[in-house]
Amino acid sequence: MKQITEITAEAKQSLRLGLEDGTTVDLSLVFKDNQKGWYYSIVDTSRSFAVSNRRLVTSPNLLRAQRRIIPFGIACSTRDGQEPIFQNDFTTGRASFYILDQADVLAAEEVINA
């Protein structure tokens, strides 16, 4: 599990994340003040996979429904167990965002199914 520390407090941002197999995925994050939350989109062109405009919530694997399709996942956690609802959540350390490899996805499944 690799923490993504490049997330800023900018309302719109894009990051390219490297996966363990050498491919990359494009992550877009948008903070919507009127919704009090972050939204994410991910594009993996090497696997023709994309999700768009999903609310970022605390989860051990936000891409769990696609775990048999893609070899990675993403996770979000907060110090207080609540949702990431502030624009500065990632810069203050209240929220953390992670990219998961295959082993992490399996470990998340064990936690979910426990």
| 34-55 pLDDT per residue, tens | 999 999 999 999 999 999 999 9
Residue 110, pLDDT score: 82
- pLDDT tens string, the chain, 114 residues long: the values are 999 999 999 999 999 999 999 999 999 999 999 999 999 999 999 999 999 999 999 999 999 999 889 999 999 999 999 999 999 999 999 999 999 999 999 898 887 776
Angle, alpha carbons 78-82-83 (nearest 5°): 85
Domain that holds residue 21: 2-113
Residue 111, pLDDT score: 78
Cβ atoms of residues 57 and 64 within 8 Å: no
Q: How many domains does the chain have?
A: 1
Q: Is 49 helix (H, G, I), strand (E, B) or coil?
A: strand
**Residue burial 4-29, b: 16+ Cβ < 10 Å; e: rest:** beebeeeeeeebebebeeeeebebeb
